[in-house]
Structure 1
Amino acid sequence: MKKIIIALTLLGSMYGFTQNNQNYDEALAKKVGAPDNGMKTYVFCLLTTGTNITATPEEKKKWFEGHMANINKLASEGKLVMAGPFMKNDKNYRGIFIFNCTTIEEAEKLVNSDPAVQANLLKADLTVWYGSAALVLMDELHKKITKTGF
C-alpha cells in the first residue's frame, strides 16, 4: 500500500509539472524571447573590489559617476537587465550585473565599457547564467516604481 501511495504521489507531481500554465501569455513570452519553459541564458557578473588603491576621492567620484551613467545607458539599450550594489561585507563583493547576452565574450565588451572597471576600482567575474526570461522587463518595471531616481 505504501508503494502505491508513493507511486501515485510521484505520478501526481509529474502530472503537475506537465500541466499547461493557465496564466500563460503567448504575446508576452514572444516579447521577452521566452521558450515554453520561460527561461533564457544571460551572463551574470559579480563585481568585486579592484586593484586600484591609489585613486583620489575626486577620481573615484568621476569614475563612479561614469559607472552609473553606463549602467543607465546599458539598461536603456536592453543590454543590462539587472544591476545593484551589495551592502558592506567582508568578501569584497561590490555589486552585480546581469547582462542580456549569451556569451562571456559579449559580456566582457559590455562590462569593459564601465569607467570604474576600466580604472580598476571594480573587478568583474563573469559566468553564463540561466534565469527567467521576464528579467528583460526589469528596466521597464523599475521606471514605473522609481519616483526620484538614484
Structure 2
Amino acid sequence: MNYIKKTTVAILLFSAAFLKSYAQTPTDSIDNGLKQYMFVMYTKGSNRTQDSTTTNRIQEQHLNHLDSLHALGLLNVAGPFMEDGDWRGLLVLDVPTKEEAEALVKKDPAVIAGRLNYVILPWMTQKGNCFR
C-alpha cells in the first residue's frame, strides 16, 4: 500500500475508535464514573422594566429561591456572569430529568417576573468533581 492509502486507513480506524467512545449511552457513561446533572443557563428575560425597588425585591427573592434549592441538596453550583450581556448566570442542578429542573426553575421569582429566561441542558461530569 502506498503512503496515502496507509494514512487514510489509519485515520479511518482512529476515527472509528474515537467515535465509538462517544457513542456510549448516558447510562454507559454513568457506569464509568460520570454523573448527569442539569445545566441551567439564565438569560435576560423580556420584562426588565421594573423600578429599582421592585428589581431589588425580585433579586432578593431569586437568591432566597436558590438558597432553598441548595439547602435541599438540589443545587450544586450557581452564580452570575460578570459581564452585562444576555447571559446572566448559571446553575448546576442535581436532578435526574429536564422536567424536574424546569419545574424548579419555573418557581424562581426572577423567571416568574420575566427578568430571566432559561435554557436547560443535561450535562455530565465525574462523580465527586469539584472546581479548583
Q: Provide the residue aligned with 1:115 in structure 2.
A: 109
Q: Give 2:87's aligned residue.
A: 93
List 4+ stretches of structure 1 deviating above 6 A.
none
- Identical aligned residues as a percent: 35
Consecutive unaligned residues of structure 1, counting only runs of 5 or more, are 1-34, 139-150
Give the 3-state SS of the residue equivalent to 2:101 in structure 1.
Answer: helix
Which residue type is aligned with residue 100 of structure 2? E
SS in 2 for 1:134: coil
Distance in 2 (CA, whole Å) between partners of 1:47 and 1:75 is 17
> Unaligned stretches of 5+ in structure 2?
1-29
How many equivalent pairs are there? Answer: 106
Cα shift at 1:36: 5.4
Cα shift readout 1:115-136 (whole Å, capped 9, x = no counterpart): 111111111100111112215x
CA–CA distance in 1 between the matches of 2:54 and 2:43?
Answer: 18
TM-score, normalising length from structure 1?
0.63
> Counterpart of 1:102?
96
Matched, 1:74 2:64: no
Other-structure match for 1:128: 122
SS at match of 1:82: strand
What is the TM-score of this pair, normalised by structure 2? 0.71
